[in-house]
Amino acid sequence: MSDLAKQEAQRKLAAAEKASAMALQGKQAALEALMGSVSVNGFGIVRDPYAARRQLQAAQDCIQQALTVLSCVEWPTDAEYDLF
């Protein structure tokens, strides 16, 4: 392969590595957002639905950001991985 092709592959690898790290951070942030307790009363009803909704929304926002990062990357092909 040409040097230009190898440079392009290197660019894609670097971008994919960065996007992967960011997506995994987003996943971890979503998990952390869901870790807080949600108390329920004797009927099994959430005591504070607004707090529960905030937790869920925060997790959803983290997941959406991670998905956006993953979808914006031009991922390396198998042939480009093989260059290294």
Instruction: Provide the domain limits for residue 65.
Output: 3-75
Determine the pLDDT at residue 47.
97
Q: Is 76 helix (H, G, I), strand (E, B) or coil?
A: coil
Domain count for the chain: 1
2: pLDDT strictly greater than 90: no
What is the average per-residue pLDDT within 73-79?
95
Q: Is 40 helix (H, G, I), strand (E, B) or coil?
A: strand
Evaluate whether residue 80 is within a structural domain: no
Q: How far is CA 54 from CA 23, 28, 58, 63, 79, in A?
A: 21, 17, 6, 14, 44
Evaluate whether residue 43 is within a structural domain: yes
Model confidence over 14-57: pLDDT tens digits? 999 999 999 999 999 999 999 989 999 999 999 999 999 999 99
Structure tokens at 62: 């983290």
1: pLDDT strictly greater than 90: no
Determine the pLDDT at residue 16.
98
Evaluate whether residue 17 is within a structural domain: yes
Q: Are the C-beta atoms of 55 and 72 separated by less than 8 Å?
A: no
Evaluate whether residue 81 is within a structural domain: no
